Amino acid sequence: MKNVITFASNARIHALLCCSATVLLSAGVAQTAGAAVVLSNTNQALVAPADATSQLAASYAVTAAASTSIYNLYVAPTGSDSNPGTAAKPFKTIQRAANMAKPSTTVHVAPGTYRENVTTKVHGTSTARIRYVSDTKWGAKIIGSGTQGMWTNNANYTDIVGFDISGPGRLGILNQGSYTLVQGNHVHNLTISGGCTGAGGAGIMNAVYTASDGDIIGNVVHDIGVPGKCNAVHGIYHANLRGHIYNNVVYRSSAWGIHLWHAADKVIVANNTSFANGAGSMGGGIVEGTGDAPGGKILTNTLVINNIVYKNPANGILQYCASGQSCIGSGNVVANNLVYGNGKAITMKVGSATGTISADPQFVNYQASGTSGNYRLKSSSPAVNKGRSSSAPTTDIDGIARPRGGAFDIGAYESY
């Protein structure tokens, strides 16, 4: 459903001031750098985790195209920004590498702690993307400062892959570009130190209304603010045209786990696991709609399929429009989701949900706090072999090919 179109404009991207209508810290799975991530049936081998406490940390695989980057830059905590950025003489900061990058560059970031706010501005191209890659999954830990974005991307054709991101701000990864990929990151424990404001916030956000084609795939996003405290702070927030939101695990967000709003249209939200988001009458698992700025937008041809939405206190899946508005158009599908233990299950404004499973998903080890949990499925789970294949991701969060059994499983993991 993603249309690949040459995007040549380098015009100034307008900032989003958004309003609205979450695992484990161990790492050690090496990841492939220097190749574009694509949606295909080809996947890398899964490195099996040693125990339950490393289950989500091991949930990462990059599906790589055959081509590699022409240029490579290197960053390490022991480096220096006066170095040339080679493997032997790396830069010290990710920002220095971002300033030096050009199309067809992979920035390799070594394990360690980077206390900086990263801003990426140099555009890649459709055939020469710029890639920022933590060479060990979640090994490069970015701890930002201030009340805004910990990583702000203003560039098109950019990949951000495999980082651990936390800090006091309201935004973990703020994407303001088009044709971007945010994959395999651990975004967590944003404290929203600026307080609850109309500006809102999110763990990962595709922000600019006129941008398009931002993919958010295989991330673990949690503890984004305090559940139930800020109505406009979410786990994953998508506000523009197209894009795939695939195979993410999202929990303990202040309001919604996954939120489509503003200029969202023709989006696919598939095979995510969203639990324990919001509180009381605030937030929930997944919400889709349009509203507020830029105005006049209608949600069409958007798919919410194969998701597990579990124990969100207020809502499971909700179609929502601002008061007095009609924002849900034609072609939208809500199908084959497992929705259980939420305050409300599924609330539709237009049409009906189909193929819904209302039963305990039977995770291997559910923990409401997320820590030490294992969100794969037991063999007896009602989500096994009950997903829809059309428009769904062909691999899971671990890069395992779907289907593993007779049909697609529901949720982020293809367990059986």
Mean pLDDT value of segment 96-120: 98
Amino acid of residue 294:
P
Quote the CA–CA distance of 309 and 338 in Å, as a whole number: 6
Quote the CA–CA distance of 184 and 163 in Å, as a whole number: 7
Amino acid of residue 35:
A
> Tokens in use for 148?
């805004």
Mean pLDDT value of segment 74-89: 98
Write out pLDDT tens, residues 189-245: 999 998 888 889 999 999 999 999 999 999 999 999 999 999 999 999 999 999 999
Q: Which tops the pLDDT comparison, 29 or 91?
A: 91
Q: Which residue in 196, 273, 181 sits closest to 228, CA to CA? A: 196
DSSP state, residue 399: -
Give a yes or no: residue 1 inside a domain: no
Task: State percent of the chain over pLDDT 90.
Answer: 79
Least confident of 27-41, 154-168, 222-236, 238-252: 27-41
Quote the CA–CA distance of 386 and 399 in Å, as a whole number: 19
Distances in Å between the Cα of 399 and the Cα atoms of 38, 145, 216, 394, 415 are 12, 33, 15, 9, 12
What are φ and ψ of residue 315, in 5° steps?
Answer: -135, 150
The CATH number of the domain holding residue 338 is: 2.160.20.10
Write out pLDDT tens, residues 292-319: 999 999 999 999 999 999 999 999 999 9
Q: Which tops the pLDDT comparison, 43 or 172?
A: 172
Quote the CA–CA distance of 249 and 125 in Å, as a whole number: 29
- The domain total for the chain is 1
Least confident of 59-68, 146-155, 266-275, 379-388: 59-68
Query: 3-state SS string over 306-339?
Result: CCEEECCCCEEEEECCCCCCCCECCCCEEECCEE
Quote the CA–CA distance of 323 and 326 in Å, as a whole number: 9
Query: Which residues, 6+ apart, have CB-to-CB distance to 63 below 8 Å?
Result: 37, 38, 39, 40, 42, 43, 44, 395, 399
Give a yes or no: residue 18 inside a domain: no
Q: Which tops the pLDDT comparison, 121 or 21?
A: 121
Statement: residue 165 has pLDDT above 50:
yes
pLDDT given at position 353 = 98
Edge to edge, what strands does the sheet with 308-310 contain? 112-114, 140-143, 164-167, 186-190, 220-224, 249-253, 273-275, 308-310, 338-340
Single pTM value for the model? 0.87
Pairing of strands 284-288, 268-270: unpaired
Q: pLDDT band at 58, cuts 50/70/90?
A: very low
Write out pLDDT tens, residues 338-370: 999 999 999 999 999 999 999 999 999 999 888
User: Residue 276 CA to chain centroid, in angstroms?
Assistant: 17
pLDDT given at position 414 = 97
Q: Which residue in 219, 304, 235 sits closest to 276, CA to CA? A: 235
pLDDT given at position 416 = 87
What are φ and ψ of residue 95, in 5° steps?
Answer: -60, -40
Give one DSSP letter per residue of 233-279, joined into a string: EEEEEE-SB--EEES-EEEEESSEEEEE-TT-BS-EEES-EEES-SB
Q: Which residue in 231, 227, 306 sits closest to 270, CA to CA? A: 306
Give a yes or no: residue 400 inside a domain: no
Give a yes or no: residue 384 inside a domain: no
Pairing of strands 363-365, 374-377: antiparallel
Q: Which tops the pLDDT comparison, 31 or 405?
A: 405
Query: Domain containing 127: what range?
Result: 35-377
Give a yes or no: residue 184 inside a domain: yes
Give a yes or no: residue 4 inside a domain: no
Number of helices and strands (H, E) in the chain? Answer: 1, 32
Mean pLDDT value of segment 78-103: 98
Contact criterion met (CB below 8 Å) for 110 and 83: no
Quote the CA–CA distance of 187 and 23 in Å, as a whole number: 9
Alpha-carbon torsion angle 28, 32, 37, 43, nearest 10: -80
Amino acid of residue 348:
M
Statement: residue 73 has pLDDT above 80:
yes
pLDDT given at position 62 = 37
Give a yes or no: residue 408 inside a domain: no
Give a yes or no: residue 91 inside a domain: yes
